[in-house]
Amino acid sequence: MKKVILVDDEKAGRQLIKEYLQGFPEFILLAEANNGVDAVREINRFKPDLVFLDVQMPGMTGFEVLTHLEEIPKIIFSTAYDKYALSAFEVHAVDYLLKPYTQERFATAIAKLEKGNEPMASLTDKLLMDQPSYPERVLVQKQNKLVTVAVSEIDWIEAYGDYSKLHSGDETFLSNYGISALEEKMNPKQFVRVHRSSIINLSSVQELKKYGKSYDIRMRNGERVRVSRGYLDRIRELIL
């Protein structure tokens, strides 16, 4: 069985999806929402496999909903608006249903669900990282799921080839961004580079210990991060 949530500010839109879903008994409807705020709450509560998501809604848009989710489910967008929204969807290869749509078009969208979640990841990642201010959440891989992690909960960031490992408490997540790209995106008042392979969250620093001519930093999760000589001035500024 696959868990489903419907998000549409029009009752008729939700009713049509429920009618079409009757032809797919493997889907079970868990909840409905008629605005963006309720959508975020219900999606984060139930962690569905699939969400039918309207674009223009009270509270926040469907795009904004994506930036507040803890896990990224499969998404089928539905919209009554054409060129601007549809162009964005097409660029990221995310399927959409342009209202009004037929049962056959609905079935075509359902068939695309087996193609993986990569397009959804691309769109969500872009929405999270391209915000006017510093991102509050980042998209990461957790086992076989796409999840978002609150930036404030990241203790430190470790270079991992072309990728990065985000250390948060006793968990480690993999980000598609390299450490230099993440450094550019993060608030420099909160995140400081202390090594070519390490960025620390200043709020997570538990202890600073002198180690020869350099320092070791103990983070709140108990892990230790070495400060390299090239970044000593940044740490000395913090001490002063």
- pLDDT tens-digit readout, 149-204: 999 999 999 999 999 999 999 999 999 999 999 999 999 999 999 999 999 999 99
3-state secondary structure of 93: coil
- Domain holding 146: CATH number? 2.40.50.1020
- Name residue 49's amino acid: D
- Provide φ and ψ at 19, rounded to 5°: -65, -45
Residues 214 and 176 in one domain: yes
By the 10 Å C-beta count (0-12 exposed, 13-18 middle, 19+ buried), 115 is classed as: exposed
Strand-strand pairing, 156-160 and 74-79: unpaired
Residues 216 and 109 in one domain: no
Residues 10 and 117 in one domain: yes
Residues 109 and 193 in one domain: no
Which of 126, 145, 161 terminates a domain? The answer is: 126
Six-digit token string for 231: 């970044």
pLDDT at 238 over 80: no
Residues 121 and 140 in one domain: no
| Listed residue (72, 177, 74, 193) closest to 129, CA to CA | 177
Give the mean model confidence (pLDDT) for residues 50-76: 91
pTM value > 0.85: no
By the 10 Å C-beta count (0-12 exposed, 13-18 middle, 19+ buried), 141 is classed as: middle
What's the Rg (C-alpha) of the chain? 21
Least confident of 93-97, 115-119, 124-128, 158-162: 115-119
pLDDT at 90 over 70: no
pLDDT at 13 over 90: yes
Residues 151 and 42 in one domain: no
Residue 100: asked if its preceding bond is cis (omega within 30°), the reply is: yes
Distance in angstroms (rounded) separating the CA atoms of residues 182 and 198: 11
Residues 45 and 77 in one domain: yes
Backbone torsion region of residue 37, taken as left when φ is above 0, otherwise alpha when ψ lies between -120 and 50, otherwise beta? alpha
Which of 90, 108, 126 terminates a domain? The answer is: 126
Which of 126, 156, 190 terminates a domain? The answer is: 126
Report the 10 Å Cβ neighbour count for 207: 11
pLDDT at 107 over 90: yes
Q: What 8-state DSSP symbol labels residue 239?
A: H
Residue 209: per-residue pLDDT = 86
Residues 147 and 176 in one domain: yes
As beta bridge partners, residue 74 has 50
| Listed residue (152, 187, 157, 192) closest to 172, CA to CA | 157
- Domain holding 97: CATH number? 3.40.50.2300
Residue 225: per-residue pLDDT = 95
Residues 102 and 145 in one domain: no
Find the domain containing 155 and state its range. 134-239
Q: What's the structural domain count of the chain?
A: 2
Give the mean model confidence (pLDDT) for residues 97-101: 88
How far, in Å, are 29, 46, 126 from residue 130 at the CA level?
33, 27, 6
Residues 211 and 106 in one domain: no
Q: Tell whether the torsion through CA atoms of 127, 129, 130 and 134 is positive or negative.
A: positive
Q: What number of residues does the chain have?
A: 240
What band does 93 get if pLDDT is binned at 50, 70 and 90? very low
Residues 208 and 151 in one domain: yes
Residue 236: per-residue pLDDT = 73
Residue 232: per-residue pLDDT = 82
Residue 229: per-residue pLDDT = 84
- Name residue 107's amino acid: A
pLDDT at 140 over 80: yes
Residues 109 and 157 in one domain: no
* Greatest C-alpha distance within the chain: 71
